[in-house]
Structure 1
Amino acid sequence: MSMTSRKRAGRIATFGFAIGAGLLIASGAGAAVAAAAPDDSGHSATSSSSASSARTHKPAAARTSAKPKPASATVMQLPTKRTTTAVSAASVSAVSTPSSAAATPTAAAKQSRAQRLPTPAEVQQAIVAGLDAARRNLDTLRTNIELLVKHQIEGIRDNLTTLRYDLEAIVGPYRPPVTPDIPADDTPGLIGNPAAKEGLFLYQGQTNRCVLMSTGMVIGQLLGADKMPTAQQITDEAATTPSTVYPDKYIYDPVADTYVAYADALQLLENHGITATSTQYSKGQGTNAINNVKAALTSGESVIVTVNASIAWGRAAPGDAVTANHAITVLGIDTIKNIVYVNDSAFNNPGIAMKMDVFMSSWAANDYQTITAYVTPAQQSTIAA
């Protein structure tokens, strides 16, 4: 065989080998396609069963004439069994879906109920509650404003009253004390016994002893002239009696000429067998205060009041009289002439007459401070014996 023939034969053999290899590859690729066809339906969740069936039932000729796949395609089909298993699990899950699907409408219903719009009744109830809250807030605001205005008015009134007192003390009228003839105790319209009490008098001198002198005068009014202490005696008693107000101090210090507290005056009266009560009233209780004084005088009690000396006597007030808190004793009241009879220890003359309006103004300046006193029942029995 010539060289040319050998070359030709080699080419033919090579060609035949190539054809055979191609047929083998083609047949392997066809088998691979046939094996992979059932699994394709599970690769996409959107594929329908009819599409899978159409691919599965293709004619054999169509399958064999399909475009050959590379040899590596057979290797890519190795995970086919796992894919099939996943598809089967998905199928099982799909089969068991009805029970879970049945629960879905319930959750949706709950969500729907939670997001529902309020009923007209609920809307009305919410509006009413809001209006009630707004009304309560307005009521509270109104009350606060009323209290604020009231306090402001009261403060202005008090300031004006204080200013009036100060002006009266500087440029006020000159009211020297008047010592008229006090009518008999049985005079119509006369309350108390001013004529009988007038002579039971103590003078404080140039000292701050108006409370002590008034206390001594009340002791004489209730227990009699023979039991009434002198000015020096009541002073010494106060200087040696412990104070009920100031710890570790005595009621009165003669050297410092200290002011005597009303609570300590009550203690001195109690030491003499006299029961006493101290009372203060508000600015608007003047009528109640004077009525209580009238009742006390009618029942035979003795009365001490605190006045502003500058208002009571104007520029005629003595320098040794305490301007703001000056204690005097009330002897009686003439309800017909509107005159109050008092003993004022700052003036060395008993039985002074004051007009009712002047008395009330000077008394109001000290909140109608009042001490009413009567003989303790046990002491009264001793006196009677």
Structure 2
Amino acid sequence: MRITDVLLDIVSIPRYTGFVCQHGLIRIMTDEGIVGIGEMSDFSHLPKYSLDARDLQATLRAHLVGRDPFDLVGINGEVAGLFPETMYYYEKGTFVRCGVDLALHDLVGKALGVNVSTLLGGRLRDKLKVCYPIFRSRTLEEVKANVDVVRQRFAQGFDVFRLYAGVNPDADEAFLDAVRQEFGSRVTIKSLDFSHLLDWKSALRVTKRLLPYGVQLIESPAVRNDFEGLRHFRLAVDLPVSEHVWSFKQLHDMLRHDSVDIFNIALIFIGGFAAARKAAAAAEVAGKGVLIGTTQELSLGTAAQALLGASLPNLNAISDPTGPELYIDDVTTAPVRYENGYLLVPDASKPGLGMDIDWNKVERLRIEGFHWSAERVANLQDRTSAS
């Protein structure tokens, strides 16, 4: 079997918050008619530059056409050379590497007639407990709307929430107090996510203020790549500390500094299944836990996240992928399923990633390429619309 073509489709889908996200779907075609499909999720992140989609398609064609899709190690190594690590959380290279790797796994699974979970060594669980994100309140006036989100999602079965915090501690406390008053122990706050916006001392002050409201862990409580600051913070709080993994150099430095307790691993930020499993194995050897993170993928990318989480022995914290619940549309014939606050892993009997693409939806949602609007930095950080 040989790769004969690579196609890249760009779609634009708003979230319920009004923020519009752009995603890439990569199709790897073969001479046997089998097509692998991967997702490059949510390019609408800082830094505010975009890849040229047609040039990216031409580049991938030049390097993948003629290759054996079963050569996962070789192809991933070459793509990593084309789009190397830059030690930045939202570097676009990992998005590209992830899309290619997911498409290759989808293709190989379909060729063998097996679900990707088989390629990953099987599944240890059939569902992942997940949390719903509450986006940052920058003013006290925004708190009521966020409490309404908790109310609506709790009615749908979500009982664990992740709070983006730190910019306005008064608003954070008002939100947590309102949730506790209305829901009591029926709702859990999984984490305060500081998103690298504060230095570790500032994050520590806010954390101590909010601890009485019952939080399970703290995420990203230092500026990017401040591994010593992360460690200082970790030693100062009696809660697990979590950080995203976005490069192997960064992972090495966090292990060397003993900076975190739980590694937040998302396929899109580390570059696909092979890289994510390598990162999870390093965490396991070091005695660290793992949770499955997210950039809020569509259903295809979320299915891949679920398959990854199902295979990891050291998945020991509530995970984050709830993207399909945030978007007003999707590109699959049926979305991934959530049940009582759990993300259900795709049917093990379906080959590949276990999801079917609705190409009529893709055509309706298609745009010509990645591009930026006039969104302000705060809106990009908080994933909310300027309007």
| TM-score, structure 1 normalization | 0.23
Higher relative contact order (CA 8 A, sep 6+): 2
Greater share of residues in helix: 1
| TM-score, structure 2 normalization | 0.23
Greater share of residues in strand: 2
Larger radius of gyration: 1
